[in-house]
Amino acid sequence: MRLATQFLARLILLIPTALILPSYAAPLPLDDLIRPPEVHQVKLSPNGSHIAVLRMHEGERVLVFMSISPLKVTGSLRLRGKEEVGGFFWANDERVIVSTINSQVAADAPVNYGSWFAVNADGSKGENILAFSGGMQLGTRIKRRAGYVHAEIIDPLVDNEKEILISTYTWARDRASRGDVYRVNIYTGVRQSISDLPVPGGRAYTDERGELIFANGTNRNNDYELYTKTDRGWEQVTHPILRNATPVGYDHDRKLSYLVLNTPDQTQTLISWDSKNQKLEKIIQNDIVDISSVIKHPRTSKPIGVHLNPDYPTVEFFDEGDGFAPLYRGMKKAFEGSNIHFTSFSRDGKKGLLEVSGDRMPGDFFLVDLETKKVDFLLSSADWLQPDDLNPMHAGHFVSSDGLRISTYLTFPKGTEKTGKLPMVVIPHSAPQARDFWGYSTEAQILSQNGYLVLQVNFRGSTGYGDRFYDAGKNQWGDNVQRDIAEGVQWAIDQGYADADRVCIYGASFGGYSALMNPIRNPDLYKCAAVYGGVYDLELLYPGGHVHHGGQGTNYLSPSIDLDKEEMRANSPLQLYDQLDLPMFIIHGREDESAPVVHAETILGELKKNGKPAQSLILDHEGHVFHNIENRRLLYAQLLDYLDTHIGAGAAKSEPTTLNH
């Protein structure tokens, strides 16, 4: 474990206006906080002798291969052009399969088009085994159907050293083109067709020994469908419970399939299904949240437990897994206050690669001997950050005015948990169909390091809290979603955490939409608003941006907001700018395709024309998220100065001074 550095000296500022700013540790340098983690993922080879490391090199994602004893580099993979390394897995002791991603300036994250590359662990014999682009498939003589094709590896075929199983689907505008299942040679890229799929937009599932057992997808009406593989081919599952389930694993000893069931008005349930005896059994359901992921036995891969994220991350086992569950609990206790999960295991199940992360730790990686329980540190994702220098995130919740449990996360400046009445920044998450988690947050650290309490609210419509909670956010972007955020702010004030006179809202993308929509709905709640890559006019989403991609824009948007034009205008900040009477900071990348820069340019023009000029930062050669480190430094330096002026020490300095004796 890394050694913690000593706390830096605290500075006490006494402002003579009956306003006392609490003492803070000196903030970490901004450059340390905006620097992206160097190590993203580490996985163990099947024989347990090597690791593959996804890491950053000169701003690109590359794959590095290392021996464990001694720990040294044995090979590497760096792709050409705009392609970078995405996900990866060991196919055998010498061969690694890599998903390739495209680093486009305009995108908020690198784009995965479903292409795969294979390489030996010494960096040799690189081969593009699955690549789809434009109107043809690269590296193959098989013609594809119309539309972009995405390929997903569904079974590594652990007993087959040369082949894997993949499932494809097309991003077709007609929502009718179905995918296929292929057996692919990982050395040559030669593939053999195994089966077509019964429904578009999904994938096939195996028993993890190469046999197809399920397939799923969505029909023309966007309704989910599940199929099972029989001697007669694919047959749709009509069982009233199973038809809404997603396969997650298989137990060969008991001949059981495991599926996650989505039930209206409830959270997800893990169930087992004995197809021979037509017996279904409920295994696990949490009252608050859905199932985050399934824990599998290191040797047999049968499901034995689940990861849950109600407030803090937890695990729940339903099978002791021949001693693996007690070992896992022991690891959890040893790294108390952290989130742990195994990224991979050796083929014999005797060694595992453990990732440990948390609110004050982006991620450390350890080699675990599952027999002796010995744990050896390998790599840190950000070794320049020390946990004791970072600020803790606290989970909480409140009940909304209409009875929903709303989860919150608060990140305090160091040593201020009991101080009270802190200047606060609320950060709505950047997509309506997403959620915040307990863990390391760059922006929460940047702001809390500089004296601000940070509030994150998982408002209605956030994913992971069951169908009822998700459905409560439909058509509510400008109304009840915003009410949840505002009630979260009021909750933090009522609890004594935040100063009601020093609250600012800041968000990106959909969070940026909320950063202006919330002050419109709650004009007395905020002193300022900052927006990063925001959406200001819902009608502008149609000609460009998120909902237009792939010809499926309406299908994406319609469950989320009312498509009636009058309703969209009534819930668009651009149409309501006259109700914005607070300082604003508009941040945007000129090459943004998710929320085109016309959003920022239009609202800035309207604000200026009507005597409400806003501070702005619009940068060339940046997209939905700023990637250039110099531009990121500029963004956060200006944001901190802006906050300081309106709710920080700079705001206090401008107030009349009266000494209190």
| pLDDT exceeds cutoff 70 at 7 | no
Average pLDDT over residues 274-303: 95
| DSSP 8-state code for residue 2 | P
CA 412 to chain centre: 22
Element (H, E) at 148: strand 148-155
- Evaluate whether 522 touches 511 at the Cβ level (below 8 Å): no
CA 261 to chain centre: 22
SS3 245: strand
- Evaluate whether 44 touches 370 at the Cβ level (below 8 Å): no
| DSSP 8-state code for residue 475 | T
| pLDDT exceeds cutoff 60 at 145 | no
> Could you report the per-residue pLDDT of 98-122, keeping only the tens digit for each?
998 877 645 556 667 678 899 999 9
Which ranges of 372-528 does DSSP label H, i.e. alpha helix? Answer: 442-449, 467-471, 480-494, 510-521
**Low-confidence winner among 40-44, 384-388, 431-435, 552-556 (lowest mean pLDDT):** 552-556
The region that residue 342 occupies, defined by phi over 0 for left and psi between -120 and 50 for alpha, beta otherwise, is: beta
* 329 CB neighbour count, 10 Å cutoff: 13
Average pLDDT over residues 462-485: 95
Whether cis (ω within 30° of 0) applies to the bond prior to 70 is: yes
| pLDDT exceeds cutoff 90 at 657 | no
The CA distance from 408 to 306, in Å, is 22
| pLDDT exceeds cutoff 90 at 518 | yes
The CA distance from 541 to 553, in Å, is 9
SS3 484: helix
The CA distance from 647 to 422, in Å, is 10
Average pLDDT over residues 348-356: 97
- Evaluate whether 379 touches 42 at the Cβ level (below 8 Å): yes
| pLDDT exceeds cutoff 80 at 135 | no
Residue 237 CA: distances (Å) to CA of 84, 224, 242, 277, 338? 39, 11, 7, 15, 40
Round to the nearest angstrom and report the end-to-end CA distance of the chain: 48
The CA distance from 77 to 98, in Å, is 10
Q: What is the pLDDT of residue 593?
A: 86
Q: What is the pLDDT of residue 1?
A: 42
pLDDT category, 655, cuts 50, 70, 90?
very low
Q: What is the pLDDT of residue 656?
A: 37
| pLDDT exceeds cutoff 90 at 173 | no
> Could you report the per-residue pLDDT of 538-579, keeping only the tens digit for each?
887 755 444 434 333 333 444 466 667 888 899 999 999 999
| pLDDT exceeds cutoff 50 at 130 | yes
**Low-confidence winner among 4-13, 163-172, 344-353, 377-386 (lowest mean pLDDT):** 4-13
Q: What is the mean pLDDT of the chain?
A: 87
| DSSP 8-state code for residue 513 | H
Helix (H) and strand (E) counts in the chain = 11, 38
Tokens of 295: 């824990």
Tokens of 588: 């945007």
Average pLDDT over residues 15-21: 34
- Exposure string of 24-42, with b = 16+ CB inside 10 Å and e = fewer, is bbebbebeebbbebbbbbb
* 615 CB neighbour count, 10 Å cutoff: 17
pLDDT category, 174, cuts 50, 70, 90?
low
| pLDDT exceeds cutoff 60 at 138 | no
Which residues share a beta bridge with 136?
Answer: 133
Residue where the block lists tokens 């891969």: 301
Contacts 24+ apart (CB under 8 A), 199-205: 199/225, 199/227, 200/169, 200/170, 200/172, 200/175, 200/176, 201/169, 201/175, 202/169, 203/152, 203/154, 203/167, 203/169, 203/179, 204/154, 204/165, 204/167, 205/154, 205/247
Phi, psi of 575 (to 5 degrees): -85, -10
Neighbour order of strands in the sheet with 191-196: 148-155, 163-171, 180-185, 191-196
Average pLDDT over residues 448-474: 96
* DSSP E strand stretches across 58-122: 60-67, 72-77, 83-90, 95-102, 111-120
Residue where the block lists tokens 């209409």: 402
The CA distance from 435 to 428, in Å, is 9
Tokens of 193: 């067709």
The CA distance from 452 to 470, in Å, is 30
pLDDT category, 234, cuts 50, 70, 90?
very high
> Could you report the per-residue pLDDT of 571-609, keeping only the tens digit for each?
999 999 999 999 999 999 999 988 899 999 999 999 999
- Evaluate whether 237 touches 215 at the Cβ level (below 8 Å): no
| pLDDT exceeds cutoff 70 at 339 | yes
* DSSP E strand stretches across 514-567: 528-532
Average pLDDT over residues 112-139: 73
| DSSP 8-state code for residue 594 | S
The CA distance from 31 to 507, in Å, is 21
- Exposure string of 79-114, with b = 16+ CB inside 10 Å and e = fewer, is beeebbbbbbebbbebbbbbbbbbbebbbbebeebb
Question: pTM for this structure?
Answer: 0.89
Nearest CA to 556 out of 545, 564, 547, 565 is that of 547
| pLDDT exceeds cutoff 50 at 144 | no
| pLDDT exceeds cutoff 50 at 12 | no
| DSSP 8-state code for residue 372 | T
Highest mean pLDDT among 162-176, 247-261, 565-579, 592-606: 247-261
**Low-confidence winner among 38-47, 104-113, 528-537 (lowest mean pLDDT):** 104-113
The CA distance from 580 to 607, in Å, is 9
Q: What is the pLDDT of residue 383?
A: 96
